């Protein structure tokens, strides 16, 4: 949730009993300073896109000056940064997308591993949450039993939380549902598009990266809404990258983002959009998700056993 999860959203999640993360993304010093200030001393963490952080490692030092509860590293090796994170007293969270990444996170001595399925909004890979989470749970029992496992991808309500716990996770990381919250740094025009969509309205693509001239390493792709811009260029990324086209379409994309015109830009939300029908305060959403999961596990689960 780069630049969508600011200090207000992170603080709201923490104050409601979760762990809020500021979405540092590619890294911007001025933005990070402002959003840590907006968190108003709440015990929050911060996330970075690891391959981008490697280009500006001083941004990690900046984040660590705010004594974050945790630093989450995604999409690249955490090993070059792990020691600095842990030496600063922060928990190291590694978001991973396959078993190779899981082994690397264990080698980095991660405190928390987030198993991200392809249902998630934004960047990811191809494994599904339903199979990835229990496979990593089994692996961690033998390789790193003290490491906390968290599930991500397609989780937006109490049903998803309850299911993740049954798969072997000890918690969940939720993005899209809080993207559609009152505190998120997301224009209502983009949120409204997602509220009226279903999961079929999203797609994994590289169009949004080609359009922004951001060279993401393979095989990562992004899950976004099927806006007109995305559908214009999906499958024609080579044409989009041509010099005579690239500047024009980048201007179209960025201008539409600034003017809150969802048709002509990227809208970063996952398959969980089909489960989101309103925009509410994040703390209220968190309490509802936890309460519904408790009800399902405490009341409905035993009824299934009795039926069997």
Which CATH code fits 7-185+281-307?
Answer: 3.20.20.70
Q: How far apart are CA 85 and CA 92, in angstroms?
A: 6
Using alpha carbons only, what angle is made at residue 267 by residues 198 and 250, rounded to the nearest 5 degrees?
145
DSSP conformation letters of 153-184: SS--SHHHHHHHHHHT-SEEE--HHHHTBTTS
Residue 2 has a pLDDT of: 87
Residue 307, pLDDT above cutoff 70 = no
Burial class (CB in 10 A: 0-12, 13-18, 19+), 17: exposed
Residue 147 has a pLDDT of: 98
**Span of 32-46, 185-199, 210-224, 288-302 with lowest mean pLDDT:** 288-302
Using alpha carbons only, what angle is made at residue 193 by residues 187 and 199, rounded to the nearest 5 degrees?
125
The rounded radius of gyration (Å) of the Cα atoms in the chain is 19
Residue 303 has a pLDDT of: 65
Residue 269, pLDDT above cutoff 60 = yes
Burial class (CB in 10 A: 0-12, 13-18, 19+), 237: middle
Residue 295, pLDDT above cutoff 60 = yes
pTM, whole model, 2 decimals? Answer: 0.94
User: Tell me: the pLDDT tens digits for 115-127?
Assistant: 999 999 999 999 9
Region class of 67: left (phi > 0), else alpha (psi between -120 and 50), else beta = left
Interior/surface letters 45-65, b for 16+ CB within 10 angstroms, e for the rest: bbbbbbbbbeeeeebbebbbe
Residue 164 in tokens: 């993740």
Average pLDDT over the chain reads: 96
User: Tell me: the pLDDT tens digits for 28-87?
Assistant: 999 999 999 999 989 999 999 999 999 999 999 999 999 999 999 999 999 999 999 999
Residue 131, pLDDT above cutoff 90 = yes
Residue 299 has a pLDDT of: 78
Per the document, the length of the chain is 308
Q: How far apart are CA 150 and CA 157, in angstroms?
A: 15
Burial class (CB in 10 A: 0-12, 13-18, 19+), 185: middle
Beta strands in the chain (DSSP E): 21-25, 45-49, 70-74, 91-96, 112-116, 122-124, 148-152, 171-173, 202-205, 221-225
Mean pLDDT value of segment 13-19: 98
Residues of the chain with pLDDT > 70, as a percent, come to 97
Mean pLDDT value of segment 227-231: 98
Angle between helices 7-15 and 282-295 (to 10 degrees): 40
Q: In angstroms, what CA-CA distances link 233 with 14, 237, 240, 245, 271? A: 39, 6, 7, 11, 20
Q: How far apart are CA 113 and CA 175, in angstroms?
A: 16
CATH 3.20.20.70 range(s) for the chain read 7-185+281-307
Residue 264 in tokens: 């002509």
Token pair 């082994």: residue: 103
Mean pLDDT value of segment 259-287: 97
Residue 157, pLDDT above cutoff 80 = yes
Which of 217, 226, 230, 238 minimizes the C-alpha distance to 274? Answer: 226
User: Tell me: the pLDDT tens digits for 178-202?
Assistant: 999 999 999 999 999 999 999 999 9
């Amino acid at each position: 949730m780069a630049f969508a999860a600011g200090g207000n959203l992170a603080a709201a999640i923490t104050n409601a009993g979760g762990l809020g993360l500021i979405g540092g993304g590619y890294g911007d010093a001025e933005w990070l300073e402002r959003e840590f200030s907006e968190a108003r001393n709440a015990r929050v963490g911060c996330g970075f896109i690891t391959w981008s952080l490697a280009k500006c490692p001083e941004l990690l030092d900046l984040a660590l000056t705010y004594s974050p509860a945790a630093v989450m590293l995604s999409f690249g090796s955490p090993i070059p940064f792990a020691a600095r994170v842990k030496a600063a007293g922060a928990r190291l969270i590694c978001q991973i997308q396959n078993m190779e990444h899981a082994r690397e996170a264990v080698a980095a001595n991660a405190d928390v591993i987030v198993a991200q399925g392809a249902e998630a909004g934004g960047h990811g890979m191809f494994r599904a949450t339903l199979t990835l989470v229990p496979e990593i749970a089994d692996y961690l029992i033998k390789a790193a039993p003290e490491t906390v496992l968290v599930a991500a991808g397609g989780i937006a309500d109490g049903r998803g939380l309850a299911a993740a716990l049954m798969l072997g996770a000890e918690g969940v990381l939720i993005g899209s549902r809080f993207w559609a919250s009152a505190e998120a740094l997301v224009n209502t025009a983009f949120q409204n598009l997602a509220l009226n969509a279903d999961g079929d309205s999203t797609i994994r693509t590289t169009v949004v990266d080609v359009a922004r001239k951001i060279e993401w390493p393979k095989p990562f792709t992004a899950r976004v809404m099927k806006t007109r811009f995305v559908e214009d260029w999906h499958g024609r990324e080579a044409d989009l990258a041509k010099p005579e086209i690239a500047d024009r379409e980048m201007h179209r994309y960025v201008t539409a983002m600034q003017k809150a015109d969802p048709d002509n830009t990227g809208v970063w939300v996952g398959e969980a959009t089909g489960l989101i029908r309103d925009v509410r305060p994040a703390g209220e959403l968190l309490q509802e998700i936890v309460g519904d999961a408790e009800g399902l596990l405490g009341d409905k689960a035993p009824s299934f056993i009795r039926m069997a």
